[in-house]
Amino acid sequence: MIRVLEVEDYRFLEFGDAIEQSCVFTADPSWLEYDYTRAMLIGALCHEQPESALFLGLGAGTLTQACLKFLPLEDVEAIELRPDVPRLAMEFLGLDDDPRLYIRTGDALELLPTAEPADLIFVDLYTDHGPGVGHLAWRFLEDCQKRLNPGGWLVINQWAGDDGKPLGAALLRGLYHRHYWELPVTEGNVILIVPADLEQDLDLERLKDRAEALMPRLGYSLQALIAQLRPAS
């Protein structure tokens, strides 16, 4: 079951037995209410001038809208498993019919090879039972990194265990050679920020500067979240 609920100034996208997937501030659908979406935006800001992005998992589209609004993107593709989700997002959740955005429905694990390489790739594949199989699939996660353009960044919304480490921590450390960053958030997730290759590093000071310059347009600061960034544990 997929449904949209309205509570005062917000609309919520839910899957299954009242499992909240997305929250939209109806006055501004690009507003990121959850810390995990703000943390994923921080991952996007690691790239100085991204022109293309690929979203694996669309949901209500708030992160997609924020990236389209605040980043210099020219070409954005989203792959969503459930055909009803993009329709509901456009009809009830404020997702714009932006000419830069191309949405396909289907399984991201199957469609990834047919997606265009991108400067930014976001993995957020959740069902009403938790993270999709892609979040622990070595070949899929490896292919996501390979699909990045040189200098690109892969941003993964990963569940965290009771120890605060991301789901599949050992797999991730081996796959990405411990060369990535983690950003834990209040919702209990850990956002992984993975560069395209081992020669690429995260420039923390430039990231802070880009976030600070964007703050007046965002309407909130990202600095407290950036302070939580840590090397792969």
Domain assignment present for residue 106? The answer is yes
Query: Where on the phi/psi map is residue 139: left (φ > 0), alpha (ψ -120 to 50), or beta?
Result: alpha
Number of structural domains in the chain: 1
What's the CA gap between 179 and 151, in Å, rounded? 14
Residue 55, helix vs strand vs coil: strand
| Residue 214 structural domain | 33-231
pLDDT tens-digit readout, 155-210: 999 999 888 899 899 999 999 999 999 999 998 899 999 999 999 999 999 999 99
Domain assignment present for residue 219? The answer is yes
Domain assignment present for residue 21? The answer is no
Closest CA to 157 of 44, 74, 47: 44
Residue 101, helix vs strand vs coil: strand
Domain assignment present for residue 159? The answer is yes
Residue 143 in contact with residue 113, Cβ under 8 Å? yes
The CATH code of the domain that includes 191 is 3.40.50.150
Domain assignment present for residue 84? The answer is yes
pLDDT tens-digit readout, 1-47: 888 888 988 888 888 775 667 888 888 989 999 999 999 999 999 99
Tell me the residue type at 228: Q
Domain assignment present for residue 189? The answer is yes
Domain assignment present for residue 208? The answer is yes
Residue 47 in contact with residue 119, Cβ under 8 Å? yes
Domain assignment present for residue 20? The answer is no
